[in-house]
Structure 1
Amino acid sequence: MDEIDRSVLKTIVETANDHFFIVSGDGQILDISPGVEAVYGLSREALLGSNVRELERDGVLRPSISLEVMRTHRPAQLMQVTGTGRRVIAEAHPVFVNGRLERIVSRSRDMTDLQLLQDEYALLQKRFNEHVKRGQSVADDPALDSALEELQVRSHAMREVASLLKRVAPSGASVLMLGESGVGKTAFARQLHRWSERAAGPFVEVNCGAIPENLFESEMFGYQPGAFSGAARQGKAGLLEQAEGGTLFLDEIGELPLLMQTKLLKVIQDGKMTRLGDTRPRRVDFRLVVATNQDLAARVQEGLFRLDLYYRLNVIPVTLPALRDRREDIPGLAEACLVRLNAHYGRQKFLDNHVWSTLMGSDWPGNVRELENWLERAWLSSALDRIEGFESPASPTSAPHTPPTPSAPPPLENETLPAYLARLERELLERGCRTHASTYALAEHLGISQSSVVRKLKRHGLKLR
């Protein structure tokens, strides 16, 4: 490296907002960037004479990300609390020479001030919600009523959500939809798209938990001809490109692999992406809407979700209430579902009056999705046009029914433990495919997420009957 290159690198490090550490393979701090002293509470001289093990022991770094890389030999990201009480997000990468860990390059960003801004924003949002609940913000809106007719929204709580979405739709800002599984996040994301200035563009829906991790990059970013073995001869545009001029809806964003989180963050920041096998970046323009039923803040703390991406996505958080908290929506949802079932199966059936007490009195832990599944089972189980009843929906307060578990078959001769467990998993999935009508029902039966069921079925080459 010549003198000019050294000067360029020195300027980059010294002017960056991040704080850089260069650590030896055995944990000795070799160099740091300016500004580190104020965050970590030690002078440059004291830090340069220290080992990261000592700093973690003394509480200067809680925990040390360099030690994590030394333990795992893999890149890492985590939240730190420094000796001065500052909260920082740290990211570190190993440097290997001939297979030996020689250096660890880490950078950290002080998030304390940003966290204060987030807390202030949360307080303002809380005050706004209280204002709405007093009936001062959600006035009668004929246009809103017309647009929500398809969604069967009658409750005040969901009108609040819809009113907020309608106001933010023209802005183009990223929206984070929160709520339990099955509350209708996808339906409201579509409605947000229809209200936006991008309504004429595409609405591209991606279930982040349903795409195998080894295929995720090619599906999202697309690829050039010959990019990898088995690639289509003409190449393929990825989902990011397909959303050009419209809305990209990433459902189950909490399931996004960490590597893809990094790449998505760069696309959001730069407005550009590059197909696999290509060197030419392409501009992309889409409105990003994401959804999750997970606690993303908790996943950040666990190191499973990038904090910087979390803040990028959390511009306008919108929480959809559970169905048990808006029971006045149940009649409209049930009637609309019945209309669809009658049209699909070509027979006109109706609900007996006494069934309504069951529908209105249930807590519906699976929310709208469970209500629709229950109605379909009841429709199919009824030999008459009058649907008089079916088993009661599960209640979260009642003990779940545990079906008898067949005894596990013994392992085959010389069968390894992974092979044995894979065989048991396949047999269990095969039985479930014969007895359940949807991946959601199978997931509920197995006690795992629907996305996990989809991945496992693909892995074993199975399909629902």
Structure 2
Amino acid sequence: MTSSSTWNENEQILHSLKDDILVTNLDGIILKVSVFTGKIYGVESDSLIGKSVYDLEAQGLFTPILTPMVVKEKKKITFVQTTNKGKKLLVTGIPVYNEDGEMYRVVSYSHDITDLADYKNFLISMEEEMERVKSELDLLRGKQLYDSGIIANSAEMQKVISTSLQVSEVDVNVLVLGESGVGKSLLAKFIHNKSDRKKGPFIEVNCGAIPDSLFEAELFGYESGAFSGANQKGKIGLIELSHGGTLFLDEIGELPLTHQVKVLKVIQEKQFYRVGGTKPIHVDFRLISATNKNLELAIKDKLFREDLYFRLNVVPITIPPLRKRTEDIVPFIHLLLKQFEEKYNKEKKLDEAVIHHLLHYDWKGNVRELINILERLVVISPSTLITVEQLPEYILESVSPAAIPLDQNQSLPEMMDDLEKQILLKARKKYKTTIRMAQALGISQPSIVRKMKKHQIL
């Protein structure tokens, strides 16, 4: 086979390929191209031969150029090139060596990945849209919780809310656990309002507040003339009133042993007799119980029935104390301040030093104690700005001076600025986005952005 026929055969092979193939010398002069190359760039392929890739880049035909990269690196190079038609090409350049082992040509080939790039951009935009929708849903859920009086910025409370939403979908018995004042009854109402029974009644029974002698009459009701002093028309009991809704037995740990077996029977059979009655009354309710006591310990001490405990404790939900969910304190403060401003028709603001003291207080009385303190501050403060002077002495004494960043070379506003900056830095590290930071700190997202610019937090 002659060199001429070999040459023609190579040319035929080159032009039969459906890819963009281009051969240059080391100076970037185009020596050979495939027919498809011209179609990629919107020109005649033959018109490219003899031209410099540097000149073609300057004319905007494609960018960046491959030849100088391959010459410099002396190895295979792959990157994305953009054409004058806006196409995205995945271009690969390969060095070609002569018989002396010297590089003397650069061969490049490409694949049109414009559609892939479009898909990638589409996926990125979809991810951004999903993140935006997720943020909106988080804000909406946060508003719903806020309107319910529940703050759940902390990871601990988010788990509580997640479990509560799951159990609200089914009529499973729930036992809400937690210290006094953490908001057990509020969570029980939240579960009820998210359930299919939300249009039915929510009947709350404080098992520790009903006198022992009146317990059966209050819980089960009574028939006319059941006992002396009874209403002549009889009375519907609390359990009967819960029909179609939720029965919430608060402070279940205070229920005397003598009454526990009666409650157990109602839970098991969903029927009971009124005091003095002979006709069984069927009732349909969803049961939620709550206690701040250790029922397992009460069982060991023979103060609580084990069979009742297992009936109640199908799904336990423990609300953490306020001191273990510090991310919720500031949002709680703003929620309560707004509520008491509306209640007493007073406009109030909290000095930052007051917020600092409230953040570092131990809150043994939990949310109930915080409610008490905020209401007192709104009522007794003589001016719009509530200052540390209005705080109870025991709160002032409980906060260690070491917890307050004192610097003799700084004024109080300067120290408060430093404290604000530290809080923002910690919040950004933990929550990543300004939306989540705003939710955690209980202020608006624009306020977060403004404060970050103020402290030059990028």
Distance 1:396 1:250, change over 3 A: farther
Q: Is 1:231 matched up with 2:230?
A: yes
Q: Is 1:312 matched up with 2:311?
A: yes
Structure 1 CA distance, aligned partners of 2:141 and 2:159? 11
Larger Rg: 2
AA paired with 2:293? Answer: Q
Distance 1:262 1:305, change over 3 A: same
CA contact (8 A) 2:361 2:398 kept: no
Offset from partner CA, 1:205-249 (integer Å, 9 cap, x none) = 111111111111100000001001111111111000010000011
1:272 is matched with which residue? 271
CA contact (8 A) 1:251 1:291 kept: yes
2:220 is matched with which residue? 221
CA contact (8 A) 1:358 1:392 kept: no
| Equivalent residue pairs, number | 260
Distance 1:349 1:394, change over 3 A: closer
CA contact (8 A) 2:173 2:315 kept: yes
AA paired with 2:224? Answer: P
Unaligned runs of 5+ in 2: 1-133, 400-458
Cα drift, residue 391 of structure 1: 1.9
Cα drift, residue 154 of structure 1: 1.2
Alignment of 1:387-398 (within 5 A): 387-389=386-388, 390-392=391-393
Distance 1:395 1:243, change over 3 A: farther
Q: Is 1:369 matched up with 2:365?
A: no
More helix, by proportion: 2
Structure 1 CA distance, aligned partners of 2:371 and 2:204? 21
Report the TM-score, using the length of structure 1 for normalisation. 0.54
CA contact (8 A) 1:374 1:393 kept: no
Cα drift, residue 281 of structure 1: 0.6
Unaligned runs of 5+ in 1: 1-138, 399-465
Offset from partner CA, 1:363-417 (integer Å, 9 cap, x none) = 101100011111122222211111112125559989xxxxxxxxxxxxxxxxxxx
AA paired with 2:180? Answer: S
CA contact (8 A) 1:180 1:293 kept: yes
Structure 1 CA distance, aligned partners of 2:362 and 2:246? 33
Structure 1 CA distance, aligned partners of 2:270 and 2:338? 43
1:415 is matched with which residue? none
Partner SS state of residue 169, structure 2? helix
1:334 is matched with which residue? 333
Structure 2 CA distance, aligned partners of 1:272 and 1:395? 54
Distance 1:356 1:397, change over 3 A: closer
Partner SS state of residue 288, structure 1? strand
Structure 2 CA distance, aligned partners of 1:145 and 1:341? 20
Structure 2 CA distance, aligned partners of 1:395 and 1:365? 15
AA paired with 1:147? Answer: Q
2:146 is matched with which residue? 149
CA contact (8 A) 1:202 1:245 kept: yes
Structure 1 CA distance, aligned partners of 2:397 and 2:182? 16
Cα drift, residue 170 of structure 1: 1.3
Structure 1 CA distance, aligned partners of 2:375 and 2:266? 41
Q: State the percentage of identical aligned residues.
A: 47
Cα drift, residue 337 of structure 1: 1.0
Partner SS state of residue 374, structure 2? helix
Offset from partner CA, 1:103-149 (integer Å, 9 cap, x none) = xxxxxxxxxxxxxxxxxxxxxxxxxxxxxxxxxxxx97536434322
CA contact (8 A) 1:176 1:313 kept: yes
2:345 is matched with which residue? 346
Structure 1 CA distance, aligned partners of 2:297 and 2:396? 27
Structure 1 CA distance, aligned partners of 2:346 and 2:364? 29
Partner SS state of residue 266, structure 1? helix
Cα drift, residue 313 of structure 1: 0.4
Report the TM-score, using the length of structure 2 for normalisation. 0.55
Q: Is 1:175 matched up with 2:174?
A: yes
1:184 is matched with which residue? 183
Partner SS state of residue 149, structure 1? helix
Alignment of 1:35-434 (within 5 A): 142=138, 144-150=141-147, 151-389=150-388, 390-392=391-393
RMSD: 1.9
CA contact (8 A) 1:245 1:286 kept: yes
AA paired with 1:347? Answer: K
CA contact (8 A) 2:174 2:315 kept: yes
Structure 1 CA distance, aligned partners of 2:290 and 2:269? 22
Structure 1 CA distance, aligned partners of 2:347 and 2:186? 26
AA paired with 1:262? Answer: V
